[in-house]
């Protein structure tokens, strides 16, 4: 993807760009009925950072993901993504804004009968005219971009395979390639490895880690696998009982913290 700036992670000086938060979650509250699910959640994700969100089932990870792009309206607080105050966007602006965020879900959400490249090109629908979409006549640049994204996830050779012929791991990599093709530099992944075998799961995490490190993509990803979070994340944010329970480096996520996070 030639538009992406390559970041030299071995350099002593961290590029200034990288220090700016790409995602700011500021004092977010969300209740369902009487039940307070998110209670003043505050944290940031820096540009090019790979942050893993942990927490027991039902602690509000998916709710937070939905609040980030206002698929669910937070009750209060502020969300800023890539310098856009998401919380104040009007409906039409919000629709436009969502198109630049890459989403990856547990169920890959691919169109099974379409090829891998057509699934990735679906990310470009927002910028292509209707007749191009209907005739699937994407322009040369869009196709090049889609191929580059598939190459990034190691699936160039499978570009013209139908999604239904790909393994679960490969399908999820197509979903990640589609997220990259959004070109918004922020990817939100809610339990992307839950339905993958261990090898495919690690493979996807490696790709996410690489995308953050080498291409400056900001990734916020929820997981249930603590060991993998510790191994791959730049930072871990853990939620418990509606609050941020832990926010720090994987090396600080001790056995004691882990035990207390998952004990009710």
Residue closer to ligand ATP by CB (options 56, 168) is: 56
Which partner from the list ligand ATP, Mg ion, none does 152 bind, CB cut-off 5 to 8 Å by kind?
none
Q: Which is nearer to ligand ATP, 32 or 198 (CB)?
A: 32
- One residue of 48, 60, 169, 192 binding ligand ATP per CB under 6 A: 60
Q: Which CB atom, from 145 or from 220, has the smaller least distance to Mg ion? A: 220
**Which stretch in 61-69, 107-115, 125-133, 138-146 sits in contact with ligand ATP by CB under 6 A?**
61-69
Residue closer to Mg ion (CB basis): 67 or 150:
67
Q: According to CB under 6 A, which one of 7, 41, 63, 102 is a site residue for ligand ATP? A: 63
- 170: Cβ–Cβ under 8 A, 6 or more apart, which residues? 116, 155, 158, 200
Question: Can you give the chain as a three-state secondary structure string?
Answer: CCCCCCCCCCCCCCCHHHHCEEEEEEEEEEEECCEEEEEEEEEEEECCCEEEEECCCCCCHHHHHHHHCCCCCCCEEEEEECCEEHHHCCHHHHHHHHCCEEEECCCCCCCCCCEHHHHHHHHHCCCCCHHHHHCCCCCHHHHHHHHHHHHHCCCHHHCCCEHHHCCHHHHHHHHHHHHHHCCCCEEEEECCCCCCCHHHHHHHHHHHHHHHHHHCCEEEEECCCHHHHHHHCCEEEEEECCEEEEEECHHHCCHHHHHHHHCC
| Interface segment toward Mg ion; rule CB under 5 A; list 21-29, 37-45, 55-63, 79-87 | 55-63
Q: Which of 50, 62, 110, 148 binds Mg ion (CB under 5 A)?
A: 62
# chain residues binding ligand ATP, by CB under 6 A: 10
Q: Is 40 left (phi over 0), alpha (psi -120 to 50) or beta?
A: left
Q: Which two tokens stand for residue 95?
A: 């629709």
Confirm or reject binding of residue 61 to ligand ATP (CB under 6 A).
yes
To Mg ion, the closest distance from the beta carbon of 62 in angstroms equals 3
In the complex, minimum distance from the CB of residue 163 to ligand ATP, in angstroms, rounded to a whole number: 24
Question: Binder to ligand ATP among 46, 51, 54, 55 (CB under 6 A)?
Answer: 55
x/- mask, ligand ATP, residues 28-47, rule CB under 6 A, reads ----x----x----------
The two three-digit tokens of residue 48, written as one number: 């090019």
- Our finding on whether 225 is near Mg ion (CB under 5 A) is no
Query: Looking at 19-27, 33-41, 62-70, 206-214, which segment touches Mg ion (CB under 5 A)?
Result: 62-70
Given the rule CB under 5 A, which residues bind Mg ion? 61-62
Given the rule CB under 6 A, which residues bind ligand ATP? 32, 37, 55, 57-63
């Amino acid at each position: 993807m030639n538009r992406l700036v390559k970041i030299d992670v071995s350099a002593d000086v961290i590029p200034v760009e990288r220090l700016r938060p790409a995602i700011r979650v500021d004092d977010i509250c969300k209740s369902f009925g009487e039940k307070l699910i998110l209670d003043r959640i505050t944290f940031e994700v820096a540009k090019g950072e790979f942050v893993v969100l942990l927490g027991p089932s039902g602690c509000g990870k998916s709710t937070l993901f939905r609040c980030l792009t206002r698929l669910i309206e937070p009750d209060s607080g502020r969300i800023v993504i890539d310098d856009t105050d998401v919380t104040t966007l009007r409906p039409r602006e919000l629709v436009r804004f969502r198109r630049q965020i890459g989403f990856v879900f547990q169920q890959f959400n691919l169109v099974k009968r379409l090829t891998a490249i057509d699934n990735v090109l679906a990310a470009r629908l927002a910028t292509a005219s209707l007749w191009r979409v209907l005739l699937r006549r994407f322009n040369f640049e869009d196709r090049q971009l889609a191929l580059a994204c598939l190459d990034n996830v190691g699936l160039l050779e499978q570009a013209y395979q139908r999604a239904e012929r790909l393994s679960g791991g490969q399908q999820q990599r197509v979903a990640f390639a589609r997220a990259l093709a959004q070109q918004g530099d922020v990817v939100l992944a809610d339990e992307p490895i839950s339905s993958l075998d261990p090898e495919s799961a690690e493979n996807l995490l490696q790709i996410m880690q690489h995308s953050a490190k080498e291409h400056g993509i900001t990734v916020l990803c929820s997981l249930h696998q603590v060991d993998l979070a510790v191994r791959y994340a730049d930072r871990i944010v853990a939620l418990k009982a509606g609050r941020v329970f832990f926010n720090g480096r994987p090396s600080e996520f001790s056995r004691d913290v882990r035990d207390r996070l998952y004990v009710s």
